[in-house]
Amino acid sequence: MVSKKIELMVGFFVALGIAAILMLSLKVADSGISGNGETYDLYAKFDNIGGLKVRSPIKVGGVVVGRVSNIVLDEEDYTPVVTLNIYAQYKNFSEATSVSILTAGLLGEQFIGLHPGFMDESVETLLPGDFIEDTKPALVLEELIGQFLFSQGSDD
């Protein structure tokens, strides 16, 4: 009887440990089970997205305001279209907003940087489903090194 009680307690603590590891991994991944509340989608076309991935953060001045929810190839002109899933509390971006793909550190992960445009009476705000027109593609380190080496070799 005592050994069955000990086995039951060990099983309970193992299950509790597995649940704690699962919750910790969800917290570290910043995904959560329920998500982050209400969101809306904006779209942006880029010439080159580099190593951008789904779930990459979208930041304004270092503050995460959303996540990349989808990356597809436009069937008309074969350019990548990125779906920006923005948290609903950040809903007043103007049509003059620009978006660029940035890198965290020298070789870090890539993320979307939103640069809010000016706001006045003549500029409207972006509505859910709108495209952001002003985009800047990712800088690919290999291409930059290749351009540097090619320009050094052509001086002869």
Give the DSSP letter of residue 88. T
Instruction: Supply the DSSP string of 35-74, one letter for each residue.
Output: -SS-EEEEEEE-S--TT--TT-EEEETTEEEEEEEEEEE-
Euclidean distance between CA atoms 38 and 88, whole angstroms: 5
**Could you report how far apart the first and last alpha carbons of the chain are, in Å?**
89
pLDDT bucket at 32, cuts 50 / 70 / 90: very low
pLDDT bucket at 124, cuts 50 / 70 / 90: confident
> Residues 68, 84: contact at Cβ < 8 Å?
yes
pLDDT of 31 reads 54
Report residue 89 as tokens.
């509390």
Element (DSSP H or E) covering residue 131: strand 131-132
pLDDT bucket at 30, cuts 50 / 70 / 90: low
User: What is the percent of the chain with per-residue pLDDT over 90, rounded to a whole number?
Assistant: 24
Residue 85 has pLDDT above 90, yes or no: yes
Query: What SS3 state is found at 25?
Result: helix
pLDDT bucket at 155, cuts 50 / 70 / 90: low
Over range 40-69, report the average pLDDT: 89
